Amino acid sequence: MAETLSAELLEFPSKDNRRLLHAVYRVGDLDRSIKFYTEAFGMKLLRKRDVPEEKYSNAFLGFGPEDSNFAVELTYNYGVDKYDIGTGFGHFAIATADVYKLAEDIKAKGGTITREAGPVKGGTSVIAFAKDPDGYLFELIERPNTPEPLCQVMLRVGDLDRSIKFYEKITRQAGPLPGLGTKIVSFLDPDGWKTVLVDHEDFLKELHNQE
């Protein structure tokens, strides 16, 4: 039996105008990752940019436009082709109406399925796990009619209650992002995970300037 979404969860976006924009992480070959995410996962390449003065390029991918959907921001730093993912990062999650089909599609495109599709132990929710070319894990969750397929980011923390109350330490004062002009401010949680708050009007201008 597939997992269903509660009415309260679906109603939440209409009551709160805050939302997650991007999950940012580093990859060793930007074009290779774009090819995998679009062909194996079915994401769309939303935009791509090069910032030579800061020596990086990045690409934004997701299942819908950035002004309404969550996206991944893949960053390639000039000259760096490999990263140590470490033990703190867990996985992303993609919701789909048919986990079995998506897992087979990923394998057909040369992707690696690290956990075959099937019910979770002791439950009925159907999941699978896939690995991208850099080793990042994606959980595939059977969930029909989801408003946002790119639905979760799993991080490991040392103290759950402490982390729930995070947003305590500012690591970057508010100001424009070098090379772009978009105003941001960033916070560090107790485990070192960074969250960046983005000025909404500047973000929309950035999107429109890419069109």
- The string of pLDDT tens digits covering residues 69-116 is 999 999 999 999 999 988 889 999 999 999 999 999 999 999 999 999
Given 156, 174, 195, which residue is the final one in a domain?
Answer: 156
pLDDT in tens, 161-209: 887 776 455 545 566 666 667 777 666 676 676 777 777 677 677 767 7
Binding residues for Zn(2+): 73, 91, 139
Residues 25, 142: Cα–Cα separation, whole Å: 25
Query: What are the binding residues?
Result: 73, 91, 139
pLDDT given at position 79:
96
80 is a domain residue: yes
Residue 175 sits at φ, ψ, to 5 deg, of 170, 175
182 assigned to some structural domain: yes
Output the pLDDT for position 125. 92
Whether residues 105 and 169 share a domain: the answer is no
Cα 35 to Cα 183: distance, rounded to the nearest angstrom: 30
Report DSSP letters for 86-129, one per residue. TTTEEEEEEEES-HHHHHHHHHHTT-EEEEEEEEPTTS--EEEE
3-state secondary structure of 155: strand
Reading the block at residue 109, the tokens are 């495109």
pTM here?
0.75
Same domain, 130 and 39: yes
Domain total of the chain: 2
Per the domain annotation, does 28 fall within a domain? yes
Is 1 within the bounds of a domain? no
Same domain for 182 and 141, yes or no, is no
Judge if 201 and 119 occupy the same domain: no
CATH number at residue 163: 3.10.180.10
Which residue out of 53, 54, 66, 139 is catalytically annotated? Answer: 139
The CA R_g of the chain, rounded to the nearest whole Å, is: 18
In a domain, 2, yes or no: no
C-alpha distances (whole Å) from 97 to each of 86, 144, 150 are 31, 4, 13
Which domain range does residue 28 map to? 7-156
- Our answer to whether residue 139 is catalytic in this structure is yes
